[in-house]
Structure 1
Amino acid sequence: MKPRLSLKQSISLTYILLAVIVAGAFSLVSYISVEVIEEQVIDARLSKMADRLIELQPGGRMPDAPPDIRFMIDDRIPAELRQLPAGSHEVGLGNRHVHVLLRDHGSSRYAVVQEVDELEHTELVILLSLAIGFAVSLLLAAVLGVVCAKRIIAPVAALAEAVGRNAGPTELPSLSAQDEIGILARAFAKRTDELQQFLQRERLFTGDVSHELRTPLTIMLGAAEVLTAQLADRPAQLATAERIRRVAAEAAQGVSALLLLARVPESLDAPRIVLNSIIKSEIERCRPLLHGKPVECRLDWSEEVSVHVRPELAGIVIGNLLRNACRHTEQGQVLVQLAAGRLVIEDTGSGIPQKVRERLFERFVHGDDLPAHEGTGLGLSIVKRVVDHVGWDVRLEIPQAGGTRFVLTFPIVRDS
């Protein structure tokens, strides 16, 4: 697809095209006028000279003539001119360019010859002047187009810059202008104000709900831990208690992450943590999901990898991806590969249907043919929100052998 011109380029090009049309039309009219005037003036002059010659010649007299005009009669007319029909002609005579008027009167032929070399030179000067004027017009049009485009685009560029840096509705430029830029600025201000109010309401709601849930979840988690300890000699009830404890822990972790997400990224501190320990902790929490399955959870790393991030947020991302891999893998392995700036979580499970891959990180999107699973989980949409919040990146890859591969990339932390 051919790229469209920018507004500034379009305005400049419009000025240039207008100059081409106007200057071209003016030059063409001027050239035609010069040609017409030249023909009419020369023909009229030569016609008067011929009348005077025919009038005076019977008396043996010749009219006075300017230096560039010659009179010829009968045999004195060169052969190359005698063979021309009566009338006005522009021909070459020797090494000179002449304009000749031939007229027959009685039995004689009369010729009035005017050298037009000087006229041709004058015409060339005029044409050169028209060409220079045309070129200067284009140059001036280009300069004027660029200057006007900058002045016209400047308010739009200032408005775009203000919107890009999330300026407040009252900080947008051109709000008081009465032209189209002012209308656009006021529309942006209104929309920006609505979006900021919406984001503020969402942030407050998320923070309030998360805050209210922390206390009951903490109580549930403590009670589940006590119940697990009391049912150590009852394996059947112990599994249920452990399941309650695990789900409560996941919910508590999710609430903590939501509280952090309710804050703007710039206000979050990002301590340096070792990602290896977070991964080990999340794998241990996912072990019960692999119970009774012929699935191996394998770690592959050769060094400790440090990142600047809140551990709660890193745990939410890694834990959610690991739980998905463990829940949807019935046999084979779950492979976790960690390197500087990159974490890969790959499984040999059922994979993700083609129809939902492009929308996988959207809210409420899931594969219809994926098996149901227990646990709350935050979902991949929350994973996407977290990685965007902390400046990481996540993408889905499909291994050739089947299954699913999620690749997390993050800034590398160098040892000082």
Structure 2
Amino acid sequence: MYRYSLRKRVAIAFAVCVAVLSVVWGFAFFSAIRLSEDRVLAHQLQRAAESYPSLTMSLRGYDEVGRLPESLREWALTNPDEGLYEFDAEELHVAVIRTGNEQRRAFVVFDVAGIEAASSEDWWWLLVITGVVGTLGVLGFGLGVVVMRRAVAPVVQLAHVVADIDPEKLSAEDHKRIASSRFGDDEVGVLARTIEKTLERISAFVERERYFTSSASHELRTPITVILGALELLEESDLSATDRKAVDRVRYAALEMKATVEMFLCLARETDDGLYDEQFLVKPLVSQAIDQQRHLLNGKFVDVDIDELVNPSVCGHPQAFSIAVNNLVRNAFEHTLNGQVPVTIRISEHELFVTNQVGSEADKRPTPVEAPSQGYGLGLGIVQRLCERNGWSFSLHADEARVIARLAW
């Protein structure tokens, strides 16, 4: 449970990290200053001890140019301005000051020979300082990582919980895995509660869908089965030619309704007990579709040519494939005009083509069409969805002369 919001925790973490680093750097610089002071004093004392008992003075004052060290006289004659000057070659530091007579200047000379470190020693100190700075930088980075991890830990925890949930296989208990109550009332808690409620609604929807499809599968198919059974009994009785045509129309309408119900139920099912990985042959399903839809050619002088190059097998849902083929064959039979060339069904290793003529070759002007939107039946949109569900591809090409439907796997 967290008392502060995520924004405040991140701000506090950043402030703590900066404060700790500032304190560490402050102590480091303070230590460096004290070390430098002690070092200068130690070198100065050591130099004096080496010249004992005649002690030398590192600091000396001069009020005349002629009394300055010889190396500084030429420079002093240039009448330098007040200030501090450094002469590396002579190892001297000079301060120029005004005396009571403003026209005259006095010189304070500090001889640092033996007090300042040698160049080689400076490089060693630079290396030590670089190492200390690098170490502090690494420690600061590590501290920042630790502090920020603790600040965003609830976000990472929620992400891990959500990642463990498979959206393709949601169960009624998945939303309980979020356990939003443990995330408090901050932004992460709001997000966790929203995800939990969303998953709960999705799980309830999936359960309702499964219940509906299982119930509808029985409730919708039973009346159709009863109608088909009653029609079979009627066909066995003595019927006039007019009554027999009416019975045939009812039977065809019932078969169409059965195919439509199976289509929608097949699309509505979230899972289908592994039937999407079943291997089946193409030719028997194509022959079955032709037999079921052949009544649409009654009264038309149209033949059906089947070009069977091979008899391939397909991996997927056999009922979905049968529904798709039935839809394509039905559309081809319905839209083929009387006296046109035969409807051609071609089966290859990875493709199925259904071609039907809708006009003469003389009127042919290529105009490709979109499958679901050109009046070839609502079923083509369903065919497209069935193909997407099974990993197949579907396309439709139509012009003034013919329509070519292609189903590939």
TM-score category by the smaller chain?
0.5 to 0.7
1:86 and 1:285, CA in 2 relative to 1: closer, same or farther beyond 3 A? same
How far the C-alpha of 1:123 sits from its partner, in A, is 7.2
Q: Is 1:177 matched with 2:182?
A: yes
In structure 2, give the amino acid aligned to 1:166.
Answer: L
**Match in the other structure for 1:280:** 287
Residues 300-332 of structure 1, C-alpha deviations (whole Å, 9 max, x = no match): 443222346665443222212332344345567
Residues 221-266 of structure 1, C-alpha deviations (whole Å, 9 max, x = no match): 34545666889995x7766554433232232344456566666525
Q: Is 1:78 matched with 2:72?
A: yes
Q: Return the match for 1:65 from 53, 57, 64.
A: 57
1:108 and 1:211, CA in 2 relative to 1: closer, same or farther beyond 3 A? closer
Q: Return the match for 2:83 from 84, 87, 92.
A: 87
Give matches, 1:204-219, under 5 Å: 204-219=211-226
How far the C-alpha of 1:407 sits from its partner, in A, is 3.1
RMSD: 5.2
Distance 2:86 2:301 in 1: 105
Distance 2:200 2:152 in 1: 30
Aligned partner of residue 165 in structure 2, secondary structure: helix
Distance 1:293 1:80 in 2: 125
**Match in the other structure for 1:101:** 95
TM-score, normalization by structure 1: 0.61
How far the C-alpha of 1:151 sits from its partner, in A, is 6.3
Aligned partner of residue 112 in structure 2, secondary structure: strand
Q: Is 1:114 matched with 2:103?
A: no
Distance 1:63 1:187 in 2: 84
Aligned partner of residue 101 in structure 1, secondary structure: strand
Distance 1:14 1:21 in 2: 11
**Match in the other structure for 1:187:** 194
1:266 and 1:31, CA in 2 relative to 1: closer, same or farther beyond 3 A? same
Distance 1:301 1:90 in 2: 102
Q: Return the match for 1:250 from 256, 277, 284.
A: 256
How far the C-alpha of 1:277 sits from its partner, in A, is 0.7
In structure 1, give the amino acid aligned to 2:219.
Answer: E
Distance 2:347 2:153 in 1: 50
Paired residues of 1:392 and 1:408 also in contact (CA < 8 A): no
Q: Is 1:319 matched with 2:319?
A: no
How far the C-alpha of 1:278 sits from its partner, in A, is 0.5
How far the C-alpha of 1:153 sits from its partner, in A, is 0.8
1:192 and 1:329, CA in 2 relative to 1: closer, same or farther beyond 3 A? farther
Identical positions, percent: 21
Give matches, 1:6-405, under 5 Å: 64-66=56-58, 73-74=67-68, 76-78=70-72, 81-82=75-76, 83=78, 84-93=80-89, 99-103=93-97, 105=99, 106=104, 109-114=107-112, 117-118=116-117, 121=122, 124=126, 125-126=128-129, 129-142=132-145, 145=148, 152-162=155-165, 164=167, 165-169=169-173, 171-179=176-184, 180=186, 181-224=188-231, 234=241, 241-256=247-262, 265-267=271-273, 272-290=279-297, 297-307=304-314, 311-328=318-335, 336-340=345-349, 342-345=351-354, 360=372, 366-367=373-374, 370=375, 379-383=379-383, 386-387=386-387, 391-396=390-395, 398=397, 403=403, 405=405
In structure 2, give the amino acid aligned to 1:187.
Answer: T
1:15 and 1:65, CA in 2 relative to 1: closer, same or farther beyond 3 A? farther
Paired residues of 1:298 and 1:336 also in contact (CA < 8 A): yes
Distance 1:224 1:33 in 2: 104
Distance 2:403 2:75 in 1: 98
Paired residues of 2:396 and 2:406 also in contact (CA < 8 A): yes
Aligned residues: 355
TM-score, normalization by structure 2: 0.62
Distance 1:80 1:332 in 2: 119
In structure 2, give the amino acid aligned to 1:317.
Answer: A
Paired residues of 1:206 and 1:258 also in contact (CA < 8 A): no
Aligned partner of residue 93 in structure 1, secondary structure: coil
Residues 18-64 of structure 1, C-alpha deviations (whole Å, 9 max, x = no match): 899879988998999999x79xx8xxx9xxxxxxxxxxxxxxxx985
How far the C-alpha of 1:212 sits from its partner, in A, is 3.1
Aligned partner of residue 396 in structure 1, secondary structure: strand
How far the C-alpha of 1:279 sits from its partner, in A, is 0.8
How far the C-alpha of 1:287 sits from its partner, in A, is 3.5
Paired residues of 1:158 and 1:173 also in contact (CA < 8 A): yes
For structure 1, list consecutive stretches of 5 or more residues without a partner in the other structure.
Answer: 1-12, 46-61, 361-365, 410-416
Aligned partner of residue 118 in structure 1, secondary structure: coil
For structure 2, list consecutive stretches of 5 or more residues without a partner in the other structure.
Answer: 1-9, 42-53, 359-365
Aligned partner of residue 207 in structure 2, secondary structure: helix
In structure 1, give the amino acid aligned to 2:407.
Answer: V
